[in-house]
Structure 1
Amino acid sequence: MKERVLELLAEKEGNYISGSEISRRLGISRTAVWKHINTLRQEGYQIDSQTNRGYLLIKSPDLLLPQEIKRGLASCRFGQEIIYLERVDSTNQKAKELAVQGREEGMVVIAEEQLEGRGSLGRSWSSPKGKGLWFSLILRPPISPLDTPKLTLVAAVALAKAVKRFAGIDLKIKWPNDLLYGKRKVAGILTELAAEFGQVDYVIVGIGINVNLTDSDYPEELKETAGSLKMITGKTYNRAELLRVILLELERAYFTYLNEGFAPIRSDWCTLAGTLQTRVRITDRNGSFEGIAEKLDEEGRLLVRLPDNTIRAVLAGEVNLLGER
């Protein structure tokens, strides 16, 4: 009900709404209205109240509260249920716990701060409080476990499209799970799954986006390689608004993949990629090698031409871009 009170305040767009109108439209008492208003104030909403005029929403907090995200959310499934945490070790870990409990596809776990955020190959991900989007999405796709790596590519396409649509910034996808601006990493994806007997139980898509971080927010070892949307444009972005766009693009890309197959995702990925036709060094658990990243195949593998002119298909690993071919 608190969320519905907020919706009515937001509807007025700078005008007052009386307590009696809120009471009538929501079917609650004036005392209940007052209690919900006070709760919203405690959460950081600036709400003015005037005798004979009612309540006026002056400013919303820069917090990723469920009611802020859902206000104007266009996705039908993704983000309809949101778990909000001020601080957590890892949103992926929390999402896995909820998935095991049977929570539905589309649930989002989001935190203002991660203490043990992780990227690819177990590396830590810097996730300072209130500066980025650190969230995880529960999926239950009816696909083979062998096809789940494609979901990382699906998410990368959705993120690149969302950032372009929201901020006008062209991020490039670095296979398989990073988004770059120039040589700086702005976003990353960590996909984890649980499966048995050849069937997927759940997939967790963890996403970290550096939104409003500045150079001073990064540890010394990341200052030359990490970036943010704010560092690119100098603008401060509303994180809840950006998340709404991302959830919609994720939902569109995910169901495009499920309904039409990987081909349309692969086409978009190739258009948005910054990896193809460049010299790369691939590092996996068996070592490293260099070559030319030529294309993405129908299985989502990166095809790399080696110095001896043979082609090697890479399903997992870390890519370092070495420059033009």
Structure 2
Amino acid sequence: MSDLFNEEIISQATHTKWAGKTVHFARETDSTNLWGKRAWREEGAGHGELFVAEYQSAGRGRFTRRWSAPPDSAITMSILICPEFSPQKAPMLTLVMGLSVAQAVAELGLEVGIKWPNDVVVSRKKICGILTEMTMKQDKIGCAVIGVGINVNMESFPEETADKATSLYLESGHPFDRAQVVGLVMKHFEENYERFVQTEDLSGLKPDYEKMLANLNQPVRVLDQNDPYEGIARGINAGGELLVERADGTVEEVNSGEVSVRGLYSYV
């Protein structure tokens, strides 16, 4: 199932001031995150430039997990960000983008949620994953790239992932214009990023994020290598950490870079 998807069409569908205003498109690349970092380092690519590929041969997610999708079915893209804030703030960009993708999917008419921190889910199955990486320049962020993979028009999934993954097509029964989806994500990301940089934390976005949080007030298992435990997810703090209430009433602040969280009875 293919649609028209190239630099010109994506640009025409993206109505923003800076997020995705400049689009680079390739039929194939190693990964859009690597491509974006190379373009910043070697070609002077700047803030807000968007790198989109039809196929990536070395796509990956959190904890270096491989991520790939058949050509003509998904969105694989990375946006380049050149922020002024400290490197410690960069992990929050993943949550900013997760919220933006969820809002875009909701605008397309699907019931959507976020599985903290970076998976967008429909019908309790993953529809999108996000990976943020940064390149340092002395002790500051030179650039950050936020990579996004969205399952758009896939008609099926391998047996080993079929119970955990889905697509916009499978959930709605009809195909989507991928350029339109990119444009919606960029619109919401631009709005959310500008709110984020005002405070350099998620305090302004927290209510919107928690409305989408599929884990909210649900039992979760925190897969900490040293001390795995169960509790109830109570939302996030301004730093984007998940607040998990243990059985004794104490509340843990869970950092996404250190542990994974799973639903007690399902993926979410």
TM-score normalised by structure 1 residue count:
0.76
- AA at the equivalent of 2:218: T
Give per-residue Cα distances to partners, 1:4-40, cap 9 Å, x unaligned.
Answer: xxxxxxxxxxxxxxxxxxxxxxxxxxxxxxxxxxxxx
- Aligned pairs for 1:155-174 (under 5 A) are 155-165=97-107, 167-174=108-115
Match of 1:81 in 2: 22
- How many percent of aligned residue pairs carry the same amino acid? 31
Larger RCO (CA within 8 A; separation ≥ 6): 2
Distance in 1 between residues matched to 2:13 and 2:113, nearest whole Å: 28
Q: Is the 8 A contact 2:3 2:178 kept in 1?
A: yes
Q: Which runs of 5+ in 2 are unaligned?
A: none
Q: Is the 8 A contact 1:63 1:112 kept in 2?
A: no
- AA at the equivalent of 1:269: Y
Q: CA deviation at 1:181?
A: 1.1
Q: Which runs of 5+ in 1 are unaligned?
A: 1-60
Are positions 1:65 and 2:29 aligned together? no
The 3 A distance-change label for structure 1 pair 242 and 100 is same
Match of 1:221 in 2: 160
The 3 A distance-change label for structure 1 pair 175 and 168 is same
Are positions 1:128 and 2:70 aligned together? yes
User: Cα RMSD over matched residues?
Assistant: 1.8
Q: CA deviation at 1:284?
A: 4.7
Match of 2:169 in 1: 230
- Aligned pairs for 1:1-325 (under 5 A) are 62-101=3-42, 102-165=44-107, 167-215=108-156, 218-261=157-200, 262-284=202-224, 286=226, 288-316=228-256, 317-323=259-265
Structure ID, larger Rg: 1
Give per-residue Cα distances to partners, 1:129-160, cap 9 Å, x unaligned.
Answer: 01010000100111111111111111111111
SS of residue paired to 1:226:
coil
- AA at the equivalent of 1:103: A
Give per-residue Cα distances to partners, 1:33-86, cap 9 Å, x unaligned.
Answer: xxxxxxxxxxxxxxxxxxxxxxxxxxxx82321110111421111222222111
Q: Is the 8 A contact 1:117 1:127 kept in 2?
A: no
Residue-pair matches, total? 261
Q: Is the 8 A contact 1:114 1:128 kept in 2?
A: no
Q: Is the 8 A contact 1:190 1:205 kept in 2?
A: yes
SS of residue paired to 1:162:
helix
